[in-house]
Homo-oligomer: A and B are copies of this chain.
């Protein structure tokens, strides 16, 4: 068995059976190994940022890691922006990067690259395999390290000669220690805070995406009157009818400050203290008022789910939780407005849908409009690196092939990784993509105002996407995805309904 085969077999043995890939010559033996290992699904991506973003979406929904397969420093470089987002999402991810044969690295060649240097800033674990015999054991360690709570990026660099040489051996992945419980005194302190009658917010991090941990949070909310929040950049949230009602912290500093001002206490479960997205010359970075007590029940590395269970025992409520009721949204009609588009989504969202939301300025009303929709999952951009939406949808759809995926995508952001549409078409994924075509980096125009800048025509033009206008119907068709442009809210609603019913990838351009 060569090193490449030991790599793939070790992945499969460790429960990693999906590889989002954009290989090159130095990874060709890994590609060839897939011929002999039917358990591993290879998903080709036409750009590495699609691979890393899809691996993130897969992990968020499957609750287990996928791997990437990337080509030396440049391939890794193209994956980094969405690895940045994945890092902030606290997902497990096995990031596999090929490199030149070790004996070839001494020469000045075009593709010589400092793969370790490029991988270091975003890799919680990083190793270059030294020989074919090491590849399997290294990969097993990568899996274990990626799975360490709350989920990490483990980068394994596989020089070409360690892939092609014989002597590979499949290795079993070491046990991953459970996330440690926070110090028990913290549970008691949190319970005391939650029962002291003050207005309290419980902010939920990546380890509380839904399921029993979210139910526990809902029980705490019911028993204590606490409000449940997620950071603006959250990893995953089960929501909709029958789930606890959770509010997202606003993007805009003033709004977030006002939103948090109502709370005298904030309890963090795996979430960082609330700070503004960007710094501003005249606005605070810290979003909580001076007098607000911020208490960390669990760090992201600790077992927030277990901590919540223990708090439930302390605050004593049995099985009751405060839940969101089903709300029927009236189907709107007429000219397109953002509110009407949001209401249409609220009215038509199918049960068990996965919503990937990178709609930036255009989608601010989306979560409100879907709060009482049938139960669904919501995923957003966790790291502020735009271009995550389309890849995230690909990964989520591959993790959950039976579930409809709705990808709400801004036109500016979508342009970074539009290659994802091709993978969606190739794999026949049930993704309905809605492009909000406002033909501008609208958020940056907002930031000009936010900074009191009276922008002139030259600056404004540099933030426009309207010269030429981008034709998303043509782009989607060019990549094999049927698409339509809608002119009214009614057209949008029927396109959305058809899209969900088709069970195939499709795209709707909404000109704004």
Contacts and interface: CB of A to CB of B under 8 A. Distances in A.
Interface in A423-464: 425-426, 443-444, 447-448, 451, 453, 455-459, 462-463
A412 B46 contact: yes
A124 B445 CA distance: 34
Given A80-B118, A108-B275, A415-B419, A458 B34 contact: yes
A interface, size bucket: 35 or more
A453 B73 contact: no
A384 B111 contact: yes
B279 A31 contact: no
Given A80-B77, A474-B474, A462 B275 contact: no
Contacts of A277: 25, 109-111
A21 interface: yes
Interface stretch (A178-186, A322-330, A477-485): A477-485
Interface string A469-502: 1111111011110000000000000000000000
Contact of A77 (B25, B77, B107, B280): B77
Given A44-B462, A84-B113, A278-B111, A121 B121 contact: no
Contacts of A101: 278-281
A47 interface: yes
Nearest to A31: B459
Contacts of A479: 468, 470-471, 475
A46 B419 CA distance: 14
Interface of A: 21, 23-26, 28-29, 31-32, 34-35, 38, 42, 44, 46-47, 49, 73-75, 77-78, 80-81, 84-85, 88, 100-101, 103-104, 107-111, 113-114, 117-118, 120-121, 160-161, 164-165, 232-233, 272-273, 275-281, 285-286, 381-387, 412, 415-416, 418-419, 422, 425-426, 443-444, 447-448, 451, 453, 455-459, 462-463, 465, 467-475, 477-480
